[in-house]
Amino acid sequence: MSSNSTRCDATRLIHTGPSANQQAGAVNPPIYRASTIIYDNVENYVNRRRDRFFDGVMYGLYGTPTAIALAQTISDLERAEGTVLTGSGTAAIACVLSSFVKTGEHILLADSVYGQTRDYCEEVLSRFGIEISYFEPTAAAEIEHHIRPNTRLLFLESPGSNTFEMIDIPQVLAVTKKHGVLTAIDNTWASPLFYKPLEAGIDISIQSGTKYISGHSDAMLGSISTGSRKIFEVLKKTAGINGHRASPDDCALVHRGIRTLEVRLKQHQKTALELMNWFSMQPEVAEILSPAWEDNPGYQIWRRDFTGASGLFGVTLYQPYENVLTQLIESLELFQIGSSWGGYESLIVPVPAPQRRYPNNYSTLPLIRIHAGLENTADLIADLEHAFAILRKQKISKYVNRY
């Protein structure tokens, strides 16, 4: 597949994987459900670990051809040497966090990481004598002060969960390379379509495939990709020991979803920008939280390092609106209330004050998180106008003049 290396992502997403003639003419990989794998002789069975563990079909836990095909497509998009699939993004994160660090060593995390990432470190790993600490994501220049002699892994997420701060990754990598610290990133927001962590020099790229890669809110999956065969083998082993797997059915759904990732993400991006523009003009709105928004402090880094933005962003309202947040959200019809995101539907949720080691501006203001779905933008704006009109009829209107 030498010609593949020059192809664009949109083309790769359509054409990567087994060809139709390898699968009875079917376009997309069929679903192979299996626990037991039958061997044609004793020798092949006895040598199965050696011959099939990392790349072949050995036992259901390690993937059937359905998972192998999806891992290949994700590797192609990530420009990875190998990809390990898990049953959820959360499992992928836990697998990375637990694969390389031993008692007495230290993991440094961005203060803006996903809540479960934090919880896994503080509630599980710390019980095994692993040191956990955080750095302020917008203060990449100070990262060297946070590196300890026993720092083994740096875990990033950019933009950060819920508050969307950007990390200056090249600046961070200059320091981690000097100190021989392994790096991993949760790249779910941008997806490998809009940011390629491995090309940027990060060792491990994690996706919650549940989000955009799947795109239809009906499957859960995690992926871990790396440019190093050695790292891939460690991850694959640890994932297996922990019993992580992605079900063949979910792999098939996610593979179906990823084919249209580029067209979907471009549309999510366009709608999100139009919605941000609308929000920015409302007197109740304090700030738009997205690196793709020009006034956002992360905008320059995003412009420099990313090739696009997804549909997820935050909006902070002025303090007095805290009391009517519930009513505002419940007045919406097209924006539904629900976690997760990256599917075709628009979502809105209130975000509680984020858990943080370092103080930030957002923790005091009421924050909502919006996922721009694939509905018509004018319809979405009409829905917002309607909900804000209801809010403005409330007593709260007396506060508006204060801002």
Ligand X SMILES: *Cc1c(COP(=O)(O)O)cnc(C)c1O
How would you class 59 by CB atoms within 10 Å of its CB: exposed for 0-12, middle for 13-18, buried for 19 or more?
A: middle
- Count H helices, E strands: the chain? 16, 11
For ligand X, which residue of 83, 99, 176, 210 counts as binding (CB under 6 A)? Answer: 210
225 binds ligand X (CB under 6 A): no
- Cα 244 from Cα 94, distance rounded (Å): 10
By the rule CB under 6 A, 67 interacts with ligand X = no
Options 192, 215, 222, 314; binder of ligand X; rule CB under 6 A = 222
Stretch that binds ligand X, among 163-171, 207-215, 262-270, 382-390 (CB under 6 A): 207-215
Q: Is 186 in the site for ligand X (CB under 6 A)?
A: yes
Asked if 174 and 147 touch (Cβ cutoff 8 Å), the reply is: no
Minimum Å distance from CB 3 to ligand X?
33
Which segment (87-95, 118-126, 295-303, 345-353) binds ligand X by CB under 6 A?
A: 87-95
Using rule CB under 6 A, residue 190 touches ligand X:
no
User: Which of 75, 83, 88, 138: binder of ligand X (CB under 6 A)?
Assistant: 88
Distance CA 169, CA 156 (A): 9
What are the residues whose beta carbons fall under 8 Å from the beta carbon of 141, sequence distance 6 or more? 168, 171
Total length of the chain: 403
Q: Binding mask 110-129 vs ligand X (x if CB under 6 A, - otherwise)?
A: ----x---------------
Using alpha carbons, list the distances in angstroms from residue 117 to 3, 110, 139, 220, 302: 38, 10, 20, 17, 23
Looking at beta carbons only, is 368 or 396 nearer to ligand X? 368
Determine the interface stretch with ligand X among 1-9, 16-24, 82-90, 99-107 (rule: CB under 6 A).
Answer: 82-90
75 binds ligand X (CB under 6 A): no
Sequential DSSP letters for 183-250: EEEE-TTTHHHH--HHHHT-SEEEEETTTTTT-SSS---EEEEES-HHHHHHHHHHHHHTT----HHH
* Window contacting ligand X (CB under 6 A); options: 30-38, 177-185, 205-213, 234-242: 205-213
User: How many alpha carbons fall within 13 Å on the CB side of residue 261?
Assistant: 32
Is residue 83 at the binding interface for ligand X, with CB under 6 A as the rule?
A: no
Among all residues, whose Cβ is closest to ligand X?
89
CA angle 88, 93, 98 (to 5 degrees): 125
Which of these ranges, 83-91, 131-139, 242-250, 349-357, lies near ligand X under the rule CB under 6 A?
A: 83-91
Q: In the range 142-161, which residues lie near ligand X by CB under 6 A?
A: 157, 161
Tokens of 346: 């628009």
Report the residue number, 65 or 209, with the smaller CB distance to ligand X.
209
Angle at alpha carbon of residue 130, lines to 129 and 134, rounded to 5°? 140
Q: Which of the 8 DSSP states describes residue 123?
A: I
Does position 138 interact with ligand X (CB under 6 A)? The reply is no
Question: Which residues contact ligand X by CB under 6 A?
Answer: 88-90, 114, 157, 161, 186, 188, 208, 210-211, 220, 222, 340
